[in-house]
Amino acid sequence: MSRQVLLSREARADDSQAHDHGTHDIAPDLAYKRLSVVNVVFLGIPDTPNWLLVDTGIPGSGPAIVKAAQERFGDFPPRGILLTHGHLDHCGSLHALLETWDVPVYAHPLEHPYLTGQAAYPEADPSVGGGGFSLLSPLLSTGPFDFSSHLQALPEDGAFPSRPDFRWIHTPGHTAGHVSFWRERDQTLIAGDAFLTTNQESLFSIFLQTPEMHGPPQPFTPDWPAAADSVRRLRELRPELVVSGHGRAMRGPEMLAALDKLADEFEFIAVPQKGRYLNDPANAANGKAYRQRR
Ligand SMILES: [Zn+2]
């Protein structure tokens, strides 16, 4: 029995080439851009002001994000920047972007300690996840970072004033305050790192973006029971289109069948067989306290 849930080319939501670093349109008001190993998402109709940016890539991605945004929306800045979570590959260009755009940054309250310089994430577990870790680890500092001047709470009713069609959903596990974004109208899910559509631990897969339904990145996920629960709740939404933090956007029945398999067999497919956090989920609300306890 295989631990891999591979997806065919037919499940891709865009048909561009594997090494195309452009912005991929996947709905009239939805596009994503692959920056190095991580995706950012543009929510909004081109050439209109009510748009939001989801995540900001690794450090150094700022100019590419601004350029793509200007091509898509002209000189309108985003109404806000949404963070699925505060890992460095998702907030790495936030400082640079805030120098161009003086806009609010939204993240779940449980992520705020890591985004205001108060706490660092639990350390990555180098014993799980395979060969990709050694290459990626320099990119994935656990912080802390301080964006307190722009950080705001997510809207309490779930919907964003500028894009009320999208709601946030708390999907902890990969981090304590991880959120995903959901649009009921066309069953669109922006999953962040709750689950992935490539194997982020395989160098081969990262560079080729081999389509695969995959759990959250193993070395950086401290609470596996919560991660399993989050994937099972997202699967219950029956998404038609999925953009995750890593890998290509995927859509359709094959994608959904793969997500069902991941959810049904999460402990077998996604959870490492050994590792630091397996029997002792990190107190992810306070990574520093966890480290001091060790
Ligand atoms: Zn992450």
What pTM, to 2 d.p., does this model score? Answer: 0.89
Identify the pLDDT of residue 10: 85
Identify the pLDDT of residue 179: 98
**DSSP-assigned beta bridge partners for residue 53:** 42, 81
Distance 145 CA to ligand 1 centre (A): 14
Degrees, nearest 5: CA angle 194-93-183: 40
Q: Which residue has the higher pLDDT, 257 or 14?
A: 257
Residue range 102-135, pLDDT digits in tens: 999 999 999 999 999 888 888 777 777 665 554 4
Distance 88 CA to ligand 1 centre (A): 8
**Confidence check: pLDDT of 171 > 70:** yes
How many Cα neighbours within 13 Å face the side chain of 142?
A: 19
**DSSP-assigned beta bridge partners for residue 33:** 23, 40
Distance 137 CA to ligand 1 centre (A): 12
Q: In the chain, where are the structural domains located?
A: 5-293
Distance 257 CA to ligand 1 centre (A): 24
Query: Could you tell me the CA-to-CA distances from 214 to 150, 191, 246 in Å, in that order?
Result: 33, 12, 10
**Confidence check: pLDDT of 245 > 80:** yes
Please give the Cα distance from 274 to 105 (Å, whole number).
36
Identify the pLDDT of residue 200: 76
Distance 47 CA to ligand 1 centre (A): 31
Identify the pLDDT of residue 134: 47
Residue range 54-98, pLDDT digits in tens: 999 999 999 999 999 999 999 999 999 999 999 989 999 999 999
User: 5-293 has which fold?
Assistant: Metallo-beta-lactamase; Chain A (3.60.15)
Distance 24 CA to ligand 1 centre (A): 22
Distance 48 CA to ligand 1 centre (A): 30
Residue given tokens 């851009």 in the structure block: 33
Identify the pLDDT of residue 294: 32
Select from 54, 69, 116, 25 the least CA-distant residue to 244: 54
Kindly state the average pLDDT of the residues 151-163.
91
Distance 216 CA to ligand 1 centre (A): 8
- What is the percentage of the chain residues whose pLDDT exceeds 90? 63
Residue given tokens 């990555």 in the structure block: 124
Query: Following DSSP, what letter does each residue of 3-17 receive, concatenated?
Result: S-EE--GGGBS----
